[in-house]
């Protein structure tokens, strides 16, 4: 089918879908709604109808982000369709190449935006402005996903209500947008709504808090700035991204910390028994870790009522051993992911009131029977594999796999219940995007502080150079708060004061990272040696002091520039450990490759899926051409 036909069908699909969508089973109506062009009550129904259409994008959002990258690998049970995704040879007839579903969401958003009455007021407040902002965020997110997967796409911002209108739009060949154009348009479109709150629907919907169905404006704006900065390497775009992420985490004193219970760790320095922690439980829908999620129909049978008569996900059966797939999974953790996890140095700090009894011990000094326990613990906390004995069913796989991110009930791989939701935004990943943005904005020490210590005033005072702090203060007025002076009793590290509720993201799987002597900010000894020629002593003159100060400033600048790509790689590893299986990886690699103007960076990473020593030359060659990163428009 040609591009024109598919876009047309997507636009019409939205039109038909909106006329029949009902969300009466999802929530209780609490007030009458009035719009200029929409019938009463249609406003909320149509917003929830868009959530329903977003469900169709869930599986490909995860699979196109993970299966094309380096953290997952295929198995003997992988379908040909998914094998092509993993090989980055997706054809026009591949079932995961369906552009119509994206345009169905986009058209639904366009229709709503054109027809809702944002001027309608109750108690002198714009009654529908929160839904209006939420729908604009959905549209921006969908267009961003679309252009990241296709590279250059037809751009439609008006609603289509007839086949004739759809045909006219689909026939246009000049009205197209690339990533730059998408970022430009939606940054301008969303900026006036940056302070807008999300719809405050109070009723539980299928066991979910409905406020988590929506994308905070600051987060999608942060993503748009981050991507645009990756295209043009403009530090101001990265700074604006950092502002958006920071202000979401620290807006009006409503701090969102990384939290101690968002990690998994060893109980003692002997590294014996099983690790403990709550990391895997951060992927339940009632967790504070989840910011935005897409709810799904679980097709529950028996006495329980279906919570959402809509679309289901097949991700559970792709990643987890279930009865319906004879316990055979299609995707599994790649050797490269296991290497990244194993290469981390888990650190345990033995605390004591007696200084001589304090110590730091590391996982590489211990012996483990399970390779998943040798470094970072996040992989083993969500990736469960076991072998069972079944001599009665030859068709069943004896290797059972469960990935807890796709449903807590899948732990142990015995329950065929479909997954209930897929997260789009999580707190941990927002912190890592903040670090990514700060690093490329020219603040690598602060970015590294997010990884090792957790961002706080203590970190800024003790672990960031005065030069970087001064430069950060120069731009801190752009932040809603002050990044360099976050309240230490809200964002606090291991300084002994108050409650610990802020840790370095690396500590979520690698123990007490703030004490880890092997997880350090890189320095350039050769550059440091340049200062020897300017060493000051009792005979130094004022001119000598000025020369030293000038040389020191020059050395600091050289170090700053040299550290940025190194810290970037550390952030990328951390994004792999924190975000594995969640659909981020291909796009994280893409951003770095774009920033470096080096397609081979992405190509090399993906080609090492089987391990650093098992590089796939064919895959590397194919992805070294940037055009091959994208799906063909059908």
In this prediction, what percent of the chain has a pLDDT beyond 70? Answer: 80
Q: Residue 589: which pLDDT band, with cuts at 50, 70 and 90?
A: very high
Integer Cα distance of 62 and 41 in angstroms: 33
Residue 359 has pLDDT above 70, yes or no: yes
Q: Which helix (H) or strand (E) holds 136?
A: helix 129-150
Residue 387 three-state SS: strand
pLDDT one-digit tens code per residue, 362-394: 998 888 989 899 999 999 999 988 878 776 677
* Structural domain containing residue 370: 262-425
Burial of 170 (0-12, 13-18, 19+ CB in 10 A): buried
Whether residues 388 and 431 share a domain: the answer is: no
Residues 414 and 431 in one domain: no
Task: Give the 3-state DSSP-derived string for 516-541, with helices as H, strands as E and coil as C.
Answer: CCCCCCCCCHHHHHHHHHHCCCCCCC
Q: Does a structural domain hold residue 228?
A: no
Same domain, residue pair 381 and 475: no
How does residue 167 score in pLDDT terms, banded at 50, 70 and 90?
A: low
- How many domains are contained in the chain? 3
Q: Is the pLDDT of residue 581 over 70?
A: yes
Instruction: Give the residue-averaged pLDDT of 580-587.
Output: 97
Shared-domain flag, residues 13 and 159: yes
Position 493 scores a pLDDT of 39
Range of weakest confidence among 57-61, 319-323, 595-599, 612-616: 319-323
Per-residue pLDDT, 277? 78
Among the ranges given (40-49, 104-113, 228-237, 342-351), the one the predictor scored with the smallest mean pLDDT: 40-49
- Tell me whether residue 186 is in a domain: no
Residue 628 lies in a domain: no
Same domain, 554 and 473: yes
Top pLDDT among 451 and 357 is at 451
Q: Are residues 419 and 434 in the same domain?
A: no
DSSP string of 41-89, one letter each residue: THHHHHHHHHHHHHGGGHHHHHHHHHTTSSSEEE-TT--HHHHHHHTT-
Q: What is the pTM of this model?
A: 0.88
Per-residue tokens: 542: 């004022």
In a domain, 414, yes or no: yes
pLDDT at 623 over 90: yes
Mean pLDDT computed over every residue of the chain = 83
Q: Does pLDDT of 434 surpass 90?
A: yes
For residue 583, which of 37, 19, 12, 59 has the smallest C-alpha distance?
A: 59
Which pairing describes strands 254-255 and 176-178: parallel, antiparallel, or unpaired? unpaired
Question: Where residue 352 falls among pLDDT bands split at 50, 70, 90?
Answer: confident
- pLDDT tens digits, 190-221: 999 999 988 877 666 767 888 899 999 999 99
255 pLDDT higher than 90: no
The answer as to whether 117 is a domain residue is: yes
Give the 3-state DSSP-derived string for 579-626, with helices as H, strands as E and coil as C.
HCCCCCHHHHHHHHHHHCCCHHHHHHHHHCCCCCCCCCHHHHHHHCCH
Query: How is residue 140 written in tokens?
Result: 């921006």
Answer yes or no: are the C-beta atoms of 199 and 211 closer than 8 Å. Answer: yes
Closest CA to 245 of 479, 508, 441: 479
Q: Could you give the angle at the alpha carbon of 457 between the alpha carbons of 455 and 460, nearest 5°?
A: 75
* 33 & 116 share domain: yes
Q: At residue 604, does pLDDT exceed 80?
A: yes
**CB atoms near residue 559 (< 10 Å):** 20
Q: Which tokens hold the place of 249?
A: 């985490």
Q: What is the pLDDT of residue 9?
A: 56
Q: Please provide the size of the chain in residues.
A: 634
Give the per-residue SS3 of 152-218.
EEECCCCCCCCHHHHHHHHHCCCCEEEHHHHHHHHHHHHHHHCCCCCCCCCCCECCECHHHHCCCHH
pLDDT of 165 above 90: no
Q: Is residue 269 part of a domain?
A: yes
Given 162, 179, 196, which residue is the final one in a domain?
Answer: 179
Domain boundary, last residue among 179, 203, 220: 179
Place of tokens 């990272």: 513
Whether 360 and 402 map to the same domain: the answer is yes
CA–CA dist 518, 373 (Å, integer): 18
Residue 499 has pLDDT above 70, yes or no: no
Task: Judge if 459 and 493 occupy the same domain.
Answer: yes
CA distance 438 to 420: 34
Q: What is the pLDDT of residues 13-54, one digit of tens each?
A: 554 444 333 322 222 222 233 334 554 456 677 888 899 999
Q: Exposed (0-12), middle (13-18) or buried (19+): which is 30, by Cβ within 10 Å?
A: exposed
The residues near 384 (Cβ < 8 Å, ≥ 6 apart) are 401, 402, 403, 404, 411, 412, 413
User: Residue 132, exposed/middle/buried by CB under 10 A (0-12, 13-18, 19+)?
Assistant: buried
Which two tokens mark 47? Answer: 């917003």
Same domain, 155 and 272: no
> Quick check: is 59 in a domain?
yes
Q: Do 378 and 443 belong to one domain?
A: no
- Final residue of a domain: which of 145, 179, 213? 179
Confidence of residue 495 (pLDDT cuts 50, 70, 90): very low
Tokens of 130: 């929160």
Same domain assignment for residues 23 and 166: yes
Residue 595 domain flag: no
Cα–Cα distance measured from residue 521 to residue 435, given in angstroms and rounded to the nearest whole number: 14
């Amino acid at each position: 089918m040609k591009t024109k036909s598919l876009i047309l069908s997507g636009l019409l699909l939205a039109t038909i879908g909106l006329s029949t969508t009902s969300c009466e089973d999802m929530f209780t109506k609490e007030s009458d709604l009035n719009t200029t062009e929409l019938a009463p009550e249609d406003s909320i129904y149509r917003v929830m109808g868009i959530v329903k259409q977003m469900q169709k994008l869930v599986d490909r959002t995860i699979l196109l982000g993970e299966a094309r990258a380096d953290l997952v690998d295929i198995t003997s049970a992988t379908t040909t369709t998914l094998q092509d995704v993993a090989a980055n040879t997706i054809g026009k007839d591949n079932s995961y190449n369906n552009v119509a579903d994206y345009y169905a969401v986009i058209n639904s958003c366009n229709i709503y935006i054109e027809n809702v009455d944002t001027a309608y007021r109750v108690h002198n407040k714009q009654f529908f402005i929160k839904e209006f902002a939420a729908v604009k965020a959905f549209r921006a997110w969908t267009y961003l996903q679309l252009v990241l997967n296709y590279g250059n796409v037809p751009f439609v911002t008006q609603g289509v209500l007839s086949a004739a209108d759809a045909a006219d739009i689909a026939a246009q060949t000049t009205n197209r947008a690339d990533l730059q154009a998408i970022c430009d348009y939606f940054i301008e479109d969303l900026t006036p709504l940056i302070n807008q709150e999300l719809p405050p629907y109070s009723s539980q919907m299928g066991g979910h808090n409905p406020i988590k169905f929506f994308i905070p404006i600051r987060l999608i704006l942060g993503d748009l700035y981050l991507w645009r900065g990756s295209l043009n390497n403009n530090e101001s775009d990265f700074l604006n991204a950092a502002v958006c992420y920071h202000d979401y985490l620290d807006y009006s004193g409503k701090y969102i910390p990384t939290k101690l219970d968002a990690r998994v760790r060893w109980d003692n320095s002997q590294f014996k028994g099983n690790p403990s922690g709550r990391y895997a439980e951060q992927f339940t829908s009632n967790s504070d870790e989840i910011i935005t999620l897409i709810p799904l129909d679980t097709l529950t049978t028996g006495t329980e009522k279906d919570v959402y008569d809509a679309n289901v996900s097949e991700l559970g059966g792709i990643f987890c051993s279930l009865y319906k797939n004879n316990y055979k999974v299609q995707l599994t953790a790649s050797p490269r992911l296991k290497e990244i996890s194993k290469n981390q140095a888990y650190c345990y700090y033995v605390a004591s009131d007696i200084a001589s009894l304090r110590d730091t011990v590391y996982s590489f000094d211990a012996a483990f029977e399970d390779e998943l326990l040798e470094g970072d613990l996040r992989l083993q906390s969500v990736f469960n594999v076991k072998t069972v004995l079944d001599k009665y069913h030859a068709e069943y796989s004896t290797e059972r796999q469960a990935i807890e991110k796709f449903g807590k009930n899948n732990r142990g791989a015995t329950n065929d219940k479909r997954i209930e939701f897929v997260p789009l935004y999580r707190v941990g990943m927002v912190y890592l995007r903040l670090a990514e943005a700060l690093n490329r904005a020219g603040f690598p020490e602060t970015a590294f502080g997010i990884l090792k210590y957790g961002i706080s005033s203590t970190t800024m005072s003790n672990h960031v150079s005065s030069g970087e702090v001064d430069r950060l203060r120069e731009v801190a007025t752009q932040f809603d708060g002050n990044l360099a002076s976050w309240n230490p009793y809200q964002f606090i590290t291991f300084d002994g004061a108050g409650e610990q509720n802020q840790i370095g993201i690396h500590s979520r799987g690698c123990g007490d990272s703030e004490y880890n002597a092997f997880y350090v900010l890189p320095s350039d000894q050769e550059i440091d040696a340049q200062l020897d020629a300017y060493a000051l002593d009792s005979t130094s003159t004022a001119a000598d002091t000025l020369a030293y100060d000038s040389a020191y400033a020059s050395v600091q600048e050289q170090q700053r520039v040299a550290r940025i790509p190194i810290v970037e790689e550390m952030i990328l590893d951390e994004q792999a450990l924190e975000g594995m299986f969640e659909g981020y990886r291909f796009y994280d690699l893409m951003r770095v490759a774009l920033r470096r103007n080096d397609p081979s960076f992405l190509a090399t990473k993906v080609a090492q899926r089987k391990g650093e020593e098992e590089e796939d030359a064919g895959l590397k060659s194919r992805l070294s051409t940037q055009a091959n990163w994208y799906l063909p428009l059908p």
